Amino acid sequence: MNRGIAMNGRPKKLDAKQRASAREPATHEVAPASEHARVDEELRAQVASLAEENAAVYEALAARDRALAELRDAVRQRDSFVASMSHDLKSPLTSIRMQAHLLRDRVERLQLSSDDRLLAGLTSIDSVATKMTSMLNELLDVVRLQSGRPLELALRPTDLVALARQAVLDCQQLTDEYSFQLASDGAAVVGFWDGARLERVLMNLLSNAMKYSPGGGDVEVAVGRENQGARAVALLSVRDHGMGIPAADLPLVFQRFHRASNVVSHIPGVGLGLAGAQHIVERHGGTISVESREGSGSTFLVRLPLPRSSDPAGFAATSDRD
């Protein structure tokens, strides 16, 4: 008879489930040695795989470091080459400009020729040599920007009206296809600026106005002042009536190497000029923007802070900050 022991010590009758459980022998499952060996082998394989992956990662990092070192060396060599080339090219250009000046002065002083074309030709030689020098300086600035180095500004009192007048005159002497017009109230607009670099900004905008107006036409330049709160700013604008810029390209127009979709296939360029112009303007504490509609031309607006009359030196200090 299947009985158990009750709490009071007397026999207790077991039910069927309890009787079946009592008949089963007590067993404890123990993993065989082969199972331990298999798990151990899997762990060893995983460790070996991780070691191989780590070695591959370290090798990839080492290869990256070698590539970066080679790239830095290549950049240094490029910078050195560009600087040397620019110096070698600027020297004869300077000589050409000096000779053109001397010849023009001699012709004017001695009245050696009554033909205005001679003076115009000498002036054109001087203008072209000046433009080529500016292009070389722009190339050096591009190299500096690509290397992550800020531009160093040579700040001095500069009249934006006089600068614009000379730029317009230089451009007009080079072409009869375009008519350049300068609008201002006649008063000087003077700030502590790097005149050579602002001239480069303006020449870039004028060059673009011609490039993207292939049929010729008017290019309008305006210089003035406007108030932004308690601070006065100089305003320079360049307007053309050419191809304009598609709306989708407007947010990208100042990005390096970006070119508008309506010109990239048939008008040469690399997309560096406007990016460089923006950097120069922003280094002066100013802004550059564009208003354009495809087929209706473009207007570029440059705003430069004017010094407070009570503290002109303060502006010079803040404009040359890194």
| Structure tokens, 259 | 């070119």
Residue 321: pLDDT above 50? Answer: no
Q: Which range (90-94, 179-183, 292-296) has the least confidence?
A: 90-94
**Smallest Cα–Cα separation from 200: which of 295, 284, 83?**
284
Q: What is the CATH number of domain 156-319?
A: 3.30.565.10
Alpha-carbon span 163 to 152, nearest angstrom:
20
Average pLDDT across the chain, whole number = 78
Name 278's Cβ contacts closer than 8 Å, sequence gap at least 6: 254, 288
Q: Which residues of 38-77 are buried (b: 16+ CB within 10 A; e: fewer)?
A: eeeeeeeeeeeeeeeeeeeeeeeeeeeeeeeeeeeeeeee
What pLDDT does 192 receive?
94
What pLDDT does 227 receive?
86
| Structure tokens, 216 | 């010729």
Name 56's Cβ contacts closer than 8 Å, sequence gap at least 6: none
Single-letter amino acid code for the residue at 257 = F
| Structure tokens, 173 | 């002497």
Q: Per-residue pLDDT averaged across 71-88, rounded?
A: 74
User: Would you list the domain boundaries of the chain?
Assistant: 64-146, 156-319
Alpha-carbon span 295 to 292, nearest angstrom:
9
Residue 315: pLDDT above 80? Answer: no
Residue 238: pLDDT above 90? Answer: yes
CATH 1.10.287 fits 64-146, yes or no: yes
What pLDDT does 124 receive?
78
